[in-house]
Structures are given as structure tokens and as C-alpha cells.
Structure 1
């Protein structure tokens, strides 16, 4: 039961940070016992990396949708560009879905280890 700092992001995700203190169960110098306890929680105003990736992909997706709407309102001169943007939106939807699944798996894995 060694003590570590913990970083908590605004999205609710967290990670173990640096080692702080040995417990009295550990007798080998420089090693930890394997059990982690929270020494202090550092709250971050940012989101975790997965949430940042999701946000970036959502921004890119909305930009592509805006392009499609603009091109369609101008007329159907740019059919190839519109089709390409639809493919980009479809790919971004798939990537966002995969990132959400990854975040959900990570959250479930943490819940099982408690």
C-alpha cells in the first residue's frame, strides 16, 4: 500500500502520477509493494487525451458539415467535393465512435479493478 499522487481531469478520468511515499509493508529499498493508495489529488482544468481527441474530431466534423451545406446551397457544381466531404464525415464518425468505446472500456476496466 504505497502512496502515489493522482491526477483528476474535468471529464472524470484520472491517472496515477508520481510516487510519494513507501508504506511500512515494503522492506526492499527502492521498490513498492504493488498496492496503490492516493496521497493527494491534483485536479486539472483540462480534459484527458481521449476527450481532447474526440473534441478535435467533432470540430473537424462540424467544419466538414458546414462545407457540405455551403456547397449544396451554392448549387450542385461541386459534386465530387461534396461526396468526398461525406466520406470524411463518415470516417470521422467512425473514429469518434472508436474513441468513445476506448474511453468506455478504460472506465469499465478501472471499475473492475476496484
Structure 2
């Protein structure tokens, strides 16, 4: 039951911070008992790094979709369109992985 700082973002994502206080169950100096309790929570109003990565990838997907629409209007770019559609599927898979990890961490007990 040692005490640690905690950071909490506006999206609900959190992470442990620095060690702050040793509990009375651990007698060795510099060691922790393994059970983490919150000493102080720092609320951060901005989105977390994972949310920033997701929004960057969303913008990238939107840009690629706009490019595909433009290329279809122009015609004669089928190979480029196919490659970009493949790239979109890859980026969307990365976005899903980021969301999955974000939600697992957000829902986990501190």
C-alpha cells in the first residue's frame, strides 16, 4: 500500500506517476510493497498522447479518402487508388488497435 502520483487526462486515460510515500508494511528503504495507492491525482485537461495519435491517423485517413475521390473524378489512376485504399485499411487497423489499448487502460482499475 505504497503511495504514488497519478495523472488523469480528460478522456479518462490515466497513468501512474512517481513514488511519493512508503507505507508501514514495507520496512526496507527505497522498496515498495507492490500495492499502489493514489497519493495525489493530477488532472490534465488536454487529450492524452494516444488520443492525439488517433486524431492524427483520422486526419490522414480523411486526406487519403479525399485524394481517392479526386483521383476517381480525374480518372486514369486505378493503381494509385488501389494502393491508397490498401493504405487506408492499414491505418484504420492501427486506429482500432490504439482505441482498444486506450479503452482497456481507461476501464482498468487504478
For Structure 1 versus Structure 2, the TM-score category normalised by the shorter chain is 0.7 to 0.9
Hey, what does 2:98 align to over in structure 1?
99
Partner of 2:47: 47
Equivalent residue of 1:23, what SS?
Answer: coil
Structure 1: runs of 5+ lacking an equivalent: none
Structure 1 residue 35 displacement after superposition: 1.4
1:37 Cα deviation from its structure 2 partner: 1.2
d(CA) in 2 for partners of 1:39, 1:102: 25
Q: Residue in 1 aligned with 2:8?
A: 8
Distance 1:70 1:55 in 2: 23
What is the alpha-carbon root mean square deviation over aligned residues?
1.7
Secondary structure at the residue paired with 1:19?
strand
Greater RCO (CA < 8 Å, at least 6 residues apart): 2
Structure 2 length as normaliser, TM-score?
A: 0.86
The TM-score normalised by the length of structure 1 is 0.83
Secondary structure (helix, strand or coil) at the match of 1:12 reads coil
Paired with 1:38 and 1:105, the residues of 2 have a C-alpha distance of 19
Q: Secondary structure at the match of 2:41?
A: strand
C-alpha displacement at 1:50, in angstroms?
2.4
The Cα offsets for residues 16-57 of structure 1, whole Å up to 9 and x where unpaired, read as 100111122221111111111111111113323322221111
1:68 aligns to what?
68
Q: How many residues align?
A: 110
Unpaired segments ≥5 residues, structure 2: none
Q: How much does 1:70 deviate?
A: 1.6
